[in-house]
Structure 1
Amino acid sequence: MAKRVLMVATVPSMIGQFNIKNIYILLDMGCEVDVAADFTDTSMWPTERIQKLKDELSDLGIESIQLNFSRSPLKINRHIDSYKETLKLIQERQYSFIHTHTPIASAIVRLAAHKTATKVVYTAHGFHFYDGAPLKNWLIFYPVEKWLSKYTDVLITINQEDYRRAKEKFYAKKIVYVPGVGVDIEKFAPRQSGRDRIRAELGLKESDIMLLSVGELNENKNHSSVIRAVAGMELTYVIVGKGEKSGELERLSKEFGVDVRLVGFRTDVADFYDAADVYALPSIREGLNVSLMEAMASGLAVVCGRIRGNTDLIENEGCLFDPVNMDEIRKAIILAIENREELSRSNLQKIKHFDLSTVDNITSEIYRRGTGI
């Protein structure tokens, strides 16, 4: 009889962007897989993209299960309801193990799984507490994650800082480091056709400098700092993503006289990497950012915050900056523009260590050894 596994995340984009390969690994092992998330949450993906994911899962024989998780830690009644839903689901389907992602869903899952003695693999995509994090993050998230680690059979960390801290302080039965969710180096290999198409769409000449960021338009992604930093520079700043900060970013672009293009959610992100000259990741907090790895695999010069995860990928100090220091951001972008070819070569070499095949092999071993498949 095939073993049944549950894959969980708060929102469906986490499944579609980061866990399809994990699902295929489980299917190849002969497992039956269910996927649970709040499929009504359109904060990251539009309804059409979510339905496409559900159709893709259905074609694989996978059921998409609606659990009413919330991304907000303040919606206590909703968390209680989703805990009851999760517990009922686990009791009814008797999963061999659960692989869970995102902090709130994973807290609920581990509490429910503990009640049923169900094994849990938890991937921490970047703890909310980290070197330099606000005190409130340490007061709220650290004790919760430490306590819940007692109910975690395998804790997967995706950057060296989180791994070291978990090994020293947490109680999970097994703690492992995996180099992120991996990047498909072949998929993101640079192509001239993508560059030509996107630049034509944006009305940019080959000689125009295009700076790119990919990510949700929210406070943590910190795109506003880049807009302030590049004021007066002759370039176009393109941001792929959607979110509540779009109005503020449009206002800032006018205030600082920066040519900013907010292109929203796109399914052709690889072509935007091809079209760009420099990639910027100004986030305040990251685990191990996928878009940064994709940009490196695309042969882009990249600049990013001097924060956890980013420093696992980028060794050139000139390409790192304090995310709230406009002068450092500006200097890093200028350096990257002036040294694009050299940085491109070094990034293409470095990213080979984070290839998807490497991550898949580690994940397969975790499933087999850590969960007894």
Structure 2
Amino acid sequence: MEYLLKILLLDEDCNDLYSFLVNDNVLANVIKICRSIDYKKGLEFFLQIGSDRIDNINKSYIDLFPLALIIAISLGVPYINRVSYRFSKHYIEHYLDNISEVEFIERIRNLGLEIERSDGCFSESDLYIAKNNTIVRICYKYRIHFISYLKAVQNLSSTEILWGLPTVYLYRGYVLIENREKVARIFMEYLRNSISNRIKAVSMTCNDTRNLLPNLIKRISSIDQELGNDISNFIKSLNSNNLVVDNKVLKPSKDVQYTDNLSVVNIAEVFKDIKSLISFSENFFPPCIQSILKALITGENLTHHQRFALATFLINLNINIDEILNIFRHSPDFNEKMTRYQLEHLAGLRGSKRRYLPYNCQTMKTLGMCSNECNVKNPLHYTAKKLRSFKQS
């Protein structure tokens, strides 16, 4: 595992990485694993297809990572982000959980995140006063320089407010951390970003990423024709549902027809799948929402505000929660249970039963999500205006 990580983070170009991923020993091990377990579930796990559950995962799945990575490189950025996220999560939960504290810190440092641990406390702070009037204090045993911390959580802090610099304990230039679980979460994010950025950079040096996968399938087929055919069919099924080609969102179909009575009330009726939503968005969504939607589909990790804006916009177009959930599956850190809960809360189906509206245009500009002058006050007004123009034309 450590060797695999170092290869991922240090290989200089596409040929070096590919040579490692398909060397005879790695390839033989991949074929062995494919023959001994349900390899499709393993690939679906890494490519984040279907359930997002990570418990009861077969530890042997890690041996499928070279195959999953080549598939991801061939399919584009969204899949590279997903594979990087799943690999990092798998590594943290299956390889770092049960090792000693000394080895835990050593592995993190060896993989590039500068962290320090104290046998005592770098600092303490009051937590609360107990019933017997004793003060319960927090001991901060770990610290990371704030620059290293910001690099590690740059995406996490924009999606989960808990990790932003204003909400952590900053002391003499270091972010102080009180427990191992938080350190593991920070390191997972650091590892995910490092792997994802590295693989994207290396894959850019490939003369033709389209040949990576066919060449691998040929090598597998030369050893096991049936397995090669089976893997090839599995990949074809992924391609048929892939919304991204060469890291660009598929263009909307020119053949889509809309009925004359189309309105905000019945918009959901035209959405048969995500591709039809993309087609509709090109014609009827404001530029700000189009931009967020495309960022999500191409595998970017949206900020908290972007997620809120997109979710509330779609909810107020009366799009089914399940359909919105499927759109958010493209997020590299997708969690079905949490996402469903949040969508239902925003739709007024949980909690206060209040249905939330999207940010107005002024707020969107303040948050840096709008740079156009659409002459409307709310993104929903833009769609309603476009629909009226469509009906009159």
TM-score normalised by length of structure 2: 0.28
Higher helix share: 2
TM-score normalised by length of structure 1: 0.29
Larger Rg: 2
Structure with the bigger RCO (C-alpha within 8 Å, sep 6+) is 2
Higher strand share: 1
